[in-house]
Structure 1
Amino acid sequence: MGELLQFPGARASGDAQEEGVERRSAPSRLPREVAEQTLDDIERVAGPDARRRAEQAVGPVDQPRWTVPGVDEGSVAAPPPEPTSTRASKRAENVAIAALTRHDASEGEIRAKLVAKGLEEQDVEAELDRLRRAGLVDDAAFAVRLVDRLRERKGLGDQAIRSTLRGRLVPQAVIDAVLVEQAEDEDVAEARLLEVAEDRARRLGSLAPDVAERRLTAYLMRKGYSGSSVRTAVRAALASAGLR
């Protein structure tokens, strides 16, 4: 069942050895309840006589630990203690949570707010690391949410969306990856463009057709659309509004 235990102070004879029990030195004294459990394990594995000899050999129960092979092998080290909060770390947390409570924010925006409050770099980075681990900041998820809102609520094209994401301090690599991942079907994008163009054209009814065309084209370009799709949408929207 394991290597033999040589009890402290006992002879190395056969009657002083019990199968399946071993002594391990420990750097510190064990709590009473742990030592009692260990002695119980010795009795269970090797019998009551082994327990009595172990008790006689080790003296008080908080002396160096007696273990049974396979019973205590899998003990897991205690996790490191949480960092002690400081005044600066608490202030950083308050600033970050207040910003996230008001509106959705990128990691870069939170960093800028923390720096603006005069916090040291190590406190800023420690707070951002805490927010990342808690899932409170995630630039990729933030960018996906913002892309959806900009398309659905503001009717923006990808060029304007890209510019908006840069303005919200989202890293360029994240912007590129998200726009590829969230790429729209061509028919869906053209339908949105036409809808935006027609809505705007209805407001240009008092203008001459050529002026309305220039105004509508410029408007759609500011919305982040370009190319032949803009020209097609302008013609269709002006015709629908009776301006051609």
Structure 2
Amino acid sequence: MASERSPSAPATPRLRALPDTGTETADVDAADDRRATAEEALVRKLRARSLSVSEARTVLRGHELDAGAVDDVIDDFCRRGYLDDDALASALVTSGVERKGQGRVALSRSLSQRGIPREVIDRALDELPDDDDERALDFARTKARSLSRLDPDTALRRLVGQLARRGYNGAVAMKAAKTALRETTFGSTTSGVRFVDSD
């Protein structure tokens, strides 16, 4: 009996201990590999364009990281300055105004679509001067001349629509469209067409 027990006694603890340790090590290694792969993928995306924290989370979730690992990577990237919703929102607002002539509604919508939190959006929009009327008129002036072949009602309707799509409210869009069309002396002086503000 003693001789039967002695070979099995030492073998049993070793067989139980080794697979457990090996599995834990393998699990840790696999998790580390997944995290490294996810971080590399995120860096590649960030080289192509800036991402919001929400967009970065989506990238990381695609690599089967658990919630804790995702939070760790996000925190690390935020600390390093690779992710910054405030800076991204400010850059998108500047770009939307300067390159696209967007108003506050369109800017807010585009920031929201990028997953930027409402309070960050509000801060970015608060940095804008209160010059929607001026920006709408600047945009309307760039478009008014190309509408000169249209009848007055159609031209006005199209220009107001273009302004509305850029996020200017109805009153601002109408005023800017009428002013821009009037300034381009739409319809020629013989047509008798006049754009009068109803305000």
Shared fold (TM-score, shorter chain, > 0.5) = yes
Give the one of 46, 51, 67 matched to 1:121: 67
Give the one of 165, 190, 199 matched to 2:111: 165
Residue aligning to 2:173: 230
Q: Secondary structure at the match of 2:146?
A: coil
- Alpha-carbon distance in 2 for matches of 1:106, 1:202: 38
- Alpha-carbon distance in 2 for matches of 1:118, 1:206: 57
State the AA in 2 paired with 1:178.
Answer: A
Q: CA deviation at 1:225?
A: 0.5
Q: Secondary structure at the match of 1:86?
A: helix
Asked whether the equivalents of residues 164 and 170 of structure 2 are also in contact (C-alpha less than 8 Å), the reply is: no
State the AA in 2 paired with 1:210.
Answer: D
State yes or no: 1:184 paired with 2:129. Answer: yes
Identity over aligned pairs, percent: 34
- Alpha-carbon distance in 2 for matches of 1:212, 1:242: 13
State the AA in 1 paired with 2:67.
Answer: E
Structure of greater relative contact order (alpha carbons < 8 Å, 6+ residues apart):
2
Residue aligning to 1:174: 120
State the AA in 2 paired with 1:183.
Answer: L
Asked whether the equivalents of residues 92 and 123 of structure 1 are also in contact (C-alpha less than 8 Å), the reply is: no
Q: CA deviation at 1:176?
A: 1.5
Structure that is richer in helix per residue: 2
Q: CA deviation at 1:178?
A: 2.1
- Alpha-carbon distance in 2 for matches of 1:152, 1:208: 30
* Matches for 1:181-220 after TM superposition, within 5 Å: 182-186=127-131, 189-220=132-163
Q: CA deviation at 1:103?
A: 0.5
Residue aligning to 2:47: 101
Asked whether the equivalents of residues 96 and 107 of structure 2 are also in contact (C-alpha less than 8 Å), the reply is: yes
Q: Deviations over 1:173-215 (max 9, x none)?
A: 21122212x13143xx322211100111122122111011111
- Alpha-carbon distance in 2 for matches of 1:231, 1:172: 28
Pairwise CA RMSD of aligned residues? 1.8
Q: Deviations over 1:58-92 (max 9, x none)?
A: xxxxxxxxxxxxxxxxxxxxxxxxxx992122112
Asked whether the equivalents of residues 97 and 103 of structure 2 are also in contact (C-alpha less than 8 Å), the reply is: yes
* Matches for 1:15-34 after TM superposition, within 5 Å: none
Q: CA deviation at 1:242?
A: 2.8
Q: Unaligned 5+ residue runs, structure 1?
A: 1-83
- Alpha-carbon distance in 1 for matches of 2:130, 2:177: 20
Q: Secondary structure at the match of 2:71?
A: helix
Given the two structures, how large is their TM-score scaled by the length of structure 1?
A: 0.61
Q: Secondary structure at the match of 2:99?
A: helix
- Alpha-carbon distance in 1 for matches of 2:65, 2:74: 12
State the AA in 1 paired with 2:46.
Answer: L
Q: Secondary structure at the match of 1:203?
A: helix
- Alpha-carbon distance in 2 for matches of 1:198, 1:101: 37
Q: Unaligned 5+ residue runs, structure 2?
A: 1-28, 187-192, 194-199
